[in-house]
């Protein structure tokens, strides 16, 4: 192997580590911001911005209780949940080109995101309590409608970019060719569905603390819970990065500090939006949520047809 190829490979590994470190470190901070913001809306002072880090540290230091039906599977589900979302993080641009962006295509991205959802199902099934099973069935119903919306969004981009390569798709591809009709439609759909992807009120039906006691996670504690919580925080950042890369990439090409800061400002505003929506809504019932997803799915299918027609 030539020295050039070796240094290129090293660069990719370092880049992937950088992406992983970036999302791992920033995700709890974003949640800290969300909590503070929520507190302000609720006339409370709210916790310190760094509280989510403390919470995670505390959970990591706690006794690891094994209360579910299949403790081994529960453990694997927790590791896999974080691992799959971190792998996804290497595929999306975070203010600079994605380190593994050329290693996979849109389908890989979809599979990895699906895998993180499957981990939740696995966790609930392994826990085996009544409430976790209710959570699993709700999560499954939501996934069946939500995942296609994401797939369609990426397809719209792929059709316009005439490529499934991630570098091409996650660079504002919906605006690349023809009239921006399908891109605009998809942008609106994804914006409306974003709260559901983030798994927050009004769409947190699969966890719904006051109904089914956190559903799939109801038998989790200690380290495993910490991993799941961290995975959920990272998920929000990754989805925000995906959204920015797909629909609003402008400015990402600017020289280093500017483009980087501009990217995170955009991701940050999405996070703020999620917190504000969560603070001003009541939770939907699972059937009401699914009905809303279905309408969004219908519109997104319309968008992909339009994209195929070159619109």
Partner 1 sequence: MPSRILLSKLATRFGPAIERADLPDPDRLFVYVAPAALREICSHLFGELNARYVITVGADDRPFSGKYLVAHDFALDREHVLGSVMALLPPDAPRVDTISDLVPGANWAEREMRDLVGIEPVGHRDPRRLVLPDGWPEGVHPLRKDFPHDKVPEGYDPGRRFAFQDPPAGCTVVPLGPFHPALDEPAHFRLFVEGERVRGCEYRGFMVHRGIEKLAESVLGYDDIPTLAERICGICGCVHSVAYAQAVESAACLEIPRRAEYIRTTLLELERLHSHLLWLGLACHLVGFDTLFMQSFRIREPVMWMAERITGNRKTYGLCLVGGVRWDITPEVRSELRQALATLEGEWRTLLSAVGGDRNLKARTRGVGVTSPALVRQMGLVGPVARAAGADIDCRRDHPYAAYDRVEFDVVTAQEGDVWARLWVRLEEGLQSIRIIRQCLEKMEPGPLRLDLNDALPPGRIGVSSVEAPRGESHHFVVTGDDNRPRRWRVRAPTYQNLQGIPAMIQDQMLADMPISLGSIDPCFSCTDRLETVDLSSGAVRTYGEAELRALARGGPREGQGRKHGGLV
What residue ranges bind partner 1 (CB under 8 A)?
Answer: 38, 41-44, 130-131, 134, 137-138, 201-202, 204-205, 208-213, 279-288
CB 239 within 8 A of CB 147: no
* Smallest distance, partner 1 to C-beta of residue 44, A: 6
**Which residues make beta-bridge pairs with 105?**
165
φ, ψ of residue 66 to 5 degrees: the values are -110, 95
CA distance 164 to 31: 32
User: Which residues contact residue 108 at a Cβ distance below 8 angstroms, ignoring those fewer than 6 apart?
Assistant: 91, 166
Closer by beta carbon to partner 1, 39 or else 301: 39
Tokens of 285: 């019932």
* Shortest Cβ 130–partner 1 spacing (Å): 5
Minimum distance from residue 29 beta carbon to partner 1 (Å) = 22
CA 264, 269, 273 angle in degrees (round to 5)?
145
* C-beta of 267 vs 289, nearer to partner 1: 289
CB 214, min distance to partner 1, A: 9
3-class state of residue 183 by DSSP: helix
**23: which 2 tokens?**
């999302």
Measured from the CB atom, the residue of 195 and 252 that comes closer to partner 1 is 195
Q: What's the min distance (Å) between Cβ of 98 and partner 1?
A: 35
Q: Angle between the 181-198 and 286-308 helix axes, to the nearest 10 degrees?
A: 150
Which CB sits closer to partner 1, 134 or 146? 134
Who's near 182: CB < 8 A, 6+ residues apart? 156, 160, 174, 303, 304, 306, 307, 311
Task: Please state the closest distance from residue 287 (CB atom) to partner 1, in A.
Answer: 7
Residue closer to partner 1 by CB (options 229, 283) is 283
Give the nearer residue to partner 1 in terms of CB position, either 269 or 280. Answer: 280
Q: Is residue 262 within a helix (H) or strand (E), and if so which, with residue range?
A: helix 256-279
DSSP state of 105: B
Nearest approach in angstroms of CB 207 to partner 1 is 10
Cα 160 to Cα 101, 153, 186, distances in angstroms: 18, 11, 12
Q: Which lies closer to partner 1 via its Cβ, residue 264 or residue 284?
A: 284
């Amino acid at each position: 192997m030539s020295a050039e190829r070796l240094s290129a490979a090293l660069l990719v590994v370092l880049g992937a580590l950088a992406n992983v470190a970036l999302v791992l470190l920033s995700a709890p901070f974003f949640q800290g911001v969300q909590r503070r913001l929520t507190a302000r809306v609720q006339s409370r002072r709210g916790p310190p911005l760094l509280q989510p880090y403390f919470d995670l540290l505390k959970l990591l230091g706690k006794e690891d209780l094994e209360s579910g039906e299949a403790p081994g599977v529960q453990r694997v589900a927790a590791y896999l949940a974080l691992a799959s979302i971190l792998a996804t993080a290497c595929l999306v641009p975070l203010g600079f080109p994605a380190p593994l962006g050329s290693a996979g295509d849109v389908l890989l991205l979809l599979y990895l995101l699906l895998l993180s959802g499957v981990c939740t199902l696995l966790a609930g099934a392994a826990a085996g309590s009544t409430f976790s099973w209710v959570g699993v069935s709700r999560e499954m119903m939501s996934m069946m409608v939500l995942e296609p919306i994401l797939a369609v969004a990426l397809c719209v981009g792929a059709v316009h970019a005439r490529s499934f390569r991630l570098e091409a798709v996650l660079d504002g591809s919906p605006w690349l060719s023809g009239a921006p009709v399908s891109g605009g439609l998809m942008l609106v759909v994804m914006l409306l569905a974003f709260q559901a992807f983030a798994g927050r009120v009004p769409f947190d039906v699969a966890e719904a603390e006051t109904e089914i006691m956190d559903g799939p996670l109801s038998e989790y504690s200690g380290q495993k819970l910490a991993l799941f919580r961290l995975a959920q925080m990272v998920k929000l950042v990754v989805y925000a990065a995906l959204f920015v890369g797909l629909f609003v990439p402008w400015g990402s090409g600017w020289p280093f500090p500017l483009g980087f800061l501009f990217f995170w400002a955009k991701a940050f505003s999405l996070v703020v939006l999620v917190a504000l929506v969560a603070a001003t809504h009541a939770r939907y019932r699972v059937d009401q949520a699914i009905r809303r997803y279905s309408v969004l799915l219908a519109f997104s299918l319309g968008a992909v047809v339009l994209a195929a027609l070159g619109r």
